[in-house]
């Protein structure tokens, strides 16, 4: 069950959250942790006029690529389950073949949740 949470100023202050919306960054910096390898580099993304201008803090080229991609067009592998009818188990694990745009994951889940496979 998905619970809706109203994000307000008190909640943000209470949890010490810095709210940054990708499309509204005019200038400034944002910190993210690289997840490409076990190093876990702290990347700093610089913005100017709403566009990414620099990525720093990486120790390998994959970290640089991750920083740019995560800041401009974040993608994720979708891992979930599909319902199975008349099978030994009620669900079957599935995973997307390629990374999907992060903003489309919930739409993909709506489609996947409507699927019922037959064993």
pLDDT digits over 20-30, tens only? 444 445 578 88
Task: Determine the pLDDT at residue 37.
Answer: 92
Query: How many angstroms separate the CA atoms of 5 and 18, rounded?
Result: 17
Do 60 and 93 lie in a common domain?
A: no
The verdict on residue 13 lying in a domain is no
Residue 3 located in a structural domain: no
pLDDT (average), residues 63-77 = 93
Same domain, residue pair 28 and 46: yes
CA 116 to centroid of chain Cα atoms: 26
- What's the structural domain count of the chain? 2
Same domain, 99 and 64: no
Range of the domain at 60: 19-73
On whether both 28 and 47 belong to a single domain, the answer is: yes
Q: How sure is the predictor about 48, in pLDDT bands with cuts at 50, 70 and 90? A: confident
pLDDT, mean of residues 1-20: 48
* pLDDT score, position 42: 96
Interval 10-26 mean pLDDT: 51
Q: Which residue has the tokens 């592998």?
A: 77
Residue 109 lies in a domain: yes
pLDDT at site 40? 94
């Amino acid at each position: 069950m998905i619970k809706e949470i109203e994000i307000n100023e008190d909640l943000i202050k209470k949890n010490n959250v810095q709210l940054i919306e990708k499309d509204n960054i005019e200038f400034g910096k944002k910190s993210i942790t690289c997840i490409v390898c076990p190093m876990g580099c702290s990347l700093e993304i610089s913005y100017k006029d709403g566009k990414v201008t620099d990525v720093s803090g990486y120790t390998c080229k994959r970290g640089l690529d991750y920083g740019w991609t995560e800041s401009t067009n974040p993608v994720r592998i979708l891992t979930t389950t599909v319902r199975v009818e008349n099978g030994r188990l009620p669900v079957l694990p599935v995973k997307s073949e390629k990374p999907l745009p992060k903003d489309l994951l919930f739409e993909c889940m709506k489609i996947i949740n409507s699927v019922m496979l037959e064993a």
